[in-house]
Amino acid sequence: MGKTSAEVKERYNKKAYEDIRLRVKKGQKEKIQARADELQKSINGYIVDLIEDDLKKR
């Protein structure tokens, strides 16, 4: 039987990406989400952009 679309995506994601767990104080997630929404980004996209911008400054 063939692989489902979800299985194929999961296999690709495991090959292409690494996970980083981020913990924030209670109430911070809502603030981060609100700012990401203002920028029309996901929380992940917002955080990745912040990190990439910081790394470019080095």
pLDDT-derived band at 1, boundaries 50, 70, 90? low
Q: Is a pLDDT exceeding 80 seen at residue 58?
A: yes
The model's pTM is 0.78
* Mean pLDDT to the nearest integer, 27-38: 98
* Mean pLDDT to the nearest integer, 15-22: 95
Contact between 25 and 18 under an 8 Å Cβ cutoff? The reply is no
- What are the domain boundaries of the chain? 22-58
